[in-house]
Amino acid sequence: MSVPVRIPLVLSAVATALATTAVAQTAPDETAAAPVLEEVVVTAQKREEKLQDVPVAVTAISDQQIASRGINSVADLGAVAPNLQVSPNVSNNTGMQIGIRGALQQNPALYWEPTVGIYVDGVYIGKNLGSVFDILDLQRIEVLRGPQGTLYGRNTLAGAVNFVTRPPSGEFRGHASVQYGNYDLRVAKASVDLPRFGIASVTLAGRVEKRDGTIKTTPGSAVSELDTRDATSARAAVNLDFTDTFQAAYRFDYSDADQIVNHSYLSRANPAILPFLQPYVVDYRAGRVGVDAPTYELSRVQNHALTFTWDVNDRNTLKAISAYRDLTWDDVLDLDGSPLPVAQTSRLSTYDAFSQELQLVGNTDRFNYVGGLYYFKDDGFTFNPQSFFFNTAIYDSRYGFGTKAWAAYGQVDYKATDALTLTAGLRYTREEKNTERYLTFSTAPGAPYFPLIPLGTVADDTFSDTTPVFIVAYRFSDAVNAYAKYSGGFKSGGFNGEANTTPEAVMPFQPEKVKAYELGLKTSFAGGQGIVNLAAFQNDVDDMQLSIFTASGASASIVRNAGKATVRGVELEAMWSPSDALKLQANYAYLDGEYDKFIDEGVNQADNRAMIHAPKNSFNALIDGRIVRTGWGDLRGVLDYSWSDDYYTYPYQLASSGPNYNPLRPIAGDTLVKSYGVLNARLALTDIPVGGWTGEVALWSRNLTNEEHIINYIDFGPSFGSLTDAYYLEPRTYGVEVTFNW
């Protein structure tokens, strides 16, 4: 029996057992009130609203689920929401590929813009690299699916993920935990709220993680192991209550990761062109490999955010949000999967960003409204040396980039009747982009370099867009809410920083735009014990930006505006708490995407190109139950299973033979990720009385069944001997965690 079938049967059996236990525990008290799901409040529309009331496809993850599912950063989101796909960048662990509804930016280079906007306490995290950092004191995570161009702006074409941290309480309280696991994992974490003094309330938090590599190397390799963890994070939160109506909130977080990257497993190489690599081609996740480059990744991030809030009156609140982000990010990669010097690259990068937002949120008897002005500026530079084929092709590659963006936005809800609400919104964005590029070539170490793109090659351009939203929401009853929505999305244009020719370097690619249509239904049942939410959508995409990996000249990825595409799908979310001892949760997504136009070298290849990172079907199931209640605390169990259909990783040709097949081009099927499932589990004794404190002891495991699956690829293409790297799902990890709360 296959894994996708076997695991759900196991989950069903466990769910039945937990449900039986829960009923047995609650049966004696027949008069006890039925449990009601906790009311979830979200800020998806820049103001507090009940999750079931907001006419947006949004998933909210509470602090309890964040703890039980072991979510510390973007990397841990997995499949917590339907049509959300999160996978590591190739080789690196401090950047993620994040996709929603089939829209994803797969290349992590800093000059490219993401498709999904990441926000921490309302502040935009503008780049993919360095986006994986531990976010301490998480209170809630909101995953907004579909374009969020009106309230969130550029680069939220697929959606947005909001991380909301816990504000200081002004009382002395806190928690501390330690973990130990396989591969000598050691984690220590603590958070302390200080007693309020004067007008100030303060929270301080920190986390340290160290882990040996999951992959050992052969004698003589440049490093002794791969895929290590070595990270330190810190956070400070300060609230200042100047008056009852005027407050300030300062947030600072710091993250420092200095670790060894994952391995690039050589899964394919043309024996006629690369015969010397054949001994290193593998079709499994080997536990010991050979590398010749001193591979590592370093990510240092500092984020500062200062928010002033003024309650102008009972109905209007004015906010001023200022933020600064500084990133240093370096890596060195051995991309040939062997101890031979065939393909080695480095990226040594610096990046900083500043944003300023002025926001007004208010209401009248019939209207809710939000409006604002937004400014964003960033600058970055990458030194990208590369060496190929035994140091016979050496490149000095450098690129810089910058953005200045302005926006004005507004959205109004009109409550036409007690049941009918009409919403309209608009955002105008204008941005200036610039680039600089330098590229030279040498045939041996110490030999002269020949210029390919001369120093001083620069370009700039201006992009703008207007993104609307229109929503009709109708509440049929307290338990049924329906909506129809039209929205626009805008992903910024720019320049190909890794271009290999001067014309390519100075020619901009155009913004990607989407028109999205959505029907949604939000329902509750059994007096609030359960909810079922449904969304159906169609996205019409224009000037779709696709990453094309090129192995001619310096190894690079460039953006092409391929043309048009239509993406349709259905999303289902359900949650049910039959007793106070058991919660069942599931989501399912169906996705169908096709190109309407894909222009490649002047020919429409719409029927012969793959839609990437768009699994047809995917689902997640979660069981969270109290197994038994004892004098030492509650024994709780959590099972979390996710499954994804096959998906392509590159927009390459589908044909592998016949008249449409081009032997000089890569084939999409060579880098098809096969369907796979992952089971995570946690068993915890909670609420243990420890003097005046409480404690918790938990056993946990990720990838419990130790599934061995490829989750990403790099395909160098026929011009580079069809060298293809594979990146595997992390093997089974497990450990014990002890927590104290006071």
Residue 122 has pLDDT above 80, yes or no: yes
Domains plus CATH for the chain? 3-35+173-184+210-219+260-297+313-741 (2.40.170.20)
Q: How many helices (H) and strands (E) does the chain have?
A: 3, 43
Nearest alpha-carbon partner for 150 in 426, 375, 371, 471: 426
pLDDT in tens, 434-479: 999 999 999 999 999 999 999 999 999 999 999 999 999 999 999 9
- Please report which confidence band the pLDDT of residue 398 belongs to, taking 50, 70 and 90 as the band edges: very high
Residue 28 has pLDDT above 60, yes or no: no
pLDDT in tens, 234-246: 999 999 999 999 9
Is residue 207 within 8 Å of residue 134, measured between CB atoms? yes
Beta strand 316-334 pairing with 343-363:
antiparallel
Contacts of 20 (CB under 8 A, 6+ apart): none
- In angstroms, rounded to a whole number, what is the distance separating the alpha carbons of residues 362 and 358? 14
Contacts of 24 (CB under 8 A, 6+ apart): none
pLDDT recorded at residue 87: 80
**Measured in whole angstroms, how far is the alpha carbon of residue 729 from the centre of its chain?**
16
Please give the helix or strand (H or E) that residue 504 lies within, else none. helix 502-506
pLDDT recorded at residue 107: 73
pLDDT in tens, 497-550: 888 899 989 999 999 999 999 999 999 998 889 999 999 999 999 998 877 666
pLDDT recorded at residue 94: 81
Nearest alpha-carbon partner for 498 in 487, 509, 490: 509
Segment 7-34 shows an average pLDDT of 41
Residue 298 has pLDDT above 90, yes or no: yes
Per 3-state DSSP, the chain is made up of helix, strand and coil in percentages (nearest 5) of 10, 60, 35
- In angstroms, rounded to a whole number, what is the distance separating the alpha carbons of residues 386 and 350? 18
Which CA distances in Å does 279 have to 37, 270, 715? 57, 12, 19
Is residue 617 within 8 Å of residue 73, measured between CB atoms? no
- In angstroms, rounded to a whole number, what is the distance separating the alpha carbons of residues 414 and 599? 43
Written as one string, the DSSP assignment of 607-654 is GGBPPBS--SEEEEEEEEEEEEEETTEEEEEEEEEEEE--EESS--B-
Least confident of 76-80, 291-295, 347-351, 527-531: 76-80
Residue 563 has pLDDT above 50, yes or no: yes
Strands laid side by side in the 159-165 sheet: 58-62, 138-145, 159-165, 116-120, 123-125
> Which carries the bigger pLDDT value, residue 432 or residue 133?
432
Matching residue, tokens 């964003």: 376
pLDDT recorded at residue 382: 95
What is the rounded (10 degree) CA torsion for 202, 203, 208, 214?
Answer: -140
Nearest alpha-carbon partner for 86 in 69, 110, 68, 64: 69
Please give the helix or strand (H or E) that residue 536 lies within, else none. strand 530-542
| Single-letter amino acid code for the residue at 392 | T
Rounded to 5°, the CA angle 523-526-528 comes to 65
pLDDT recorded at residue 34: 58
pLDDT recorded at residue 707: 94
What is the rounded (10 degree) CA torsion for 87, 91, 94, 96?
Answer: -20
- Please report which confidence band the pLDDT of residue 29 belongs to, taking 50, 70 and 90 as the band edges: very low
Segment 220-232 shows an average pLDDT of 94
Is residue 398 within 8 Å of residue 74, measured between CB atoms? no
pLDDT in tens, 605-618: 899 999 989 999 99
- Please report which confidence band the pLDDT of residue 551 belongs to, taking 50, 70 and 90 as the band edges: low
- In angstroms, rounded to a whole number, what is the distance separating the alpha carbons of residues 298 and 329? 6
Burial 301-323 (b: 16+ CB within 10 A, else e): bbbbbbbbbeeeeeeebbbebbb
- Please report which confidence band the pLDDT of residue 96 belongs to, taking 50, 70 and 90 as the band edges: confident
Cα-Cα-Cα-Cα dihedral sign, residues 238, 243, 247, 248: negative
pLDDT in tens, 642-668: 999 999 998 899 999 888 898 888 999
Nearest alpha-carbon partner for 94 in 256, 292, 304: 256
- In angstroms, rounded to a whole number, what is the distance separating the alpha carbons of residues 197 and 698? 35
- In angstroms, rounded to a whole number, what is the distance separating the alpha carbons of residues 262 and 266? 13
Matching residue, tokens 């690196």: 92
pLDDT recorded at residue 717: 87
- In angstroms, rounded to a whole number, what is the distance separating the alpha carbons of residues 330 and 92? 10
| Single-letter amino acid code for the residue at 114 | P
Please give the DSSP secondary-structure letter assigned to residue 89: P
pLDDT recorded at residue 550: 60
Least confident of 7-21, 268-282, 618-632, 716-730: 7-21
Please give the helix or strand (H or E) that residue 583 lies within, else none. strand 582-600
Which CA distances in Å does 424 have to 148, 485, 522? 13, 10, 20
pLDDT recorded at residue 165: 93
Which CA distances in Å does 129 have to 111, 199, 727? 10, 37, 18
- In angstroms, rounded to a whole number, what is the distance separating the alpha carbons of residues 244 and 234? 30
Nearest alpha-carbon partner for 703 in 726, 685, 676: 676
Rounded to 5°, the CA angle 309-312-318 comes to 40
Q: Which two tokens stand for residue 729?
A: 């799902």
- In angstroms, rounded to a whole number, what is the distance separating the alpha carbons of residues 310 and 318? 5
Beta strand 582-600 pairing with 563-579:
antiparallel
pLDDT recorded at residue 553: 63
pLDDT in tens, 145-178: 999 989 998 889 999 999 999 999 999 999 999 9
pLDDT recorded at residue 287: 87
- In angstroms, rounded to a whole number, what is the distance separating the alpha carbons of residues 306 and 664? 53
> Which carries the bigger pLDDT value, residue 2 or residue 51?
51
Nearest alpha-carbon partner for 547 in 114, 117, 126, 100: 114
- In angstroms, rounded to a whole number, what is the distance separating the alpha carbons of residues 66 and 77? 9
Q: How far apart are the first and last CA of the chain?
A: 48
- Mean pLDDT for the chain overall: 90
pLDDT recorded at residue 184: 97
- Which percentage of the chain shows pLDDT scores above 90? 72
Segment 190-200 shows an average pLDDT of 97
Which CA distances in Å does 410 have to 124, 250, 419, 581? 18, 26, 23, 44
What is the rounded (10 degree) CA torsion for 7, 11, 14, 18?
Answer: 170
Nearest alpha-carbon partner for 502 in 472, 459, 536: 459
Which CA distances in Å does 244 have to 78, 108, 260, 312, 313? 41, 44, 50, 11, 11
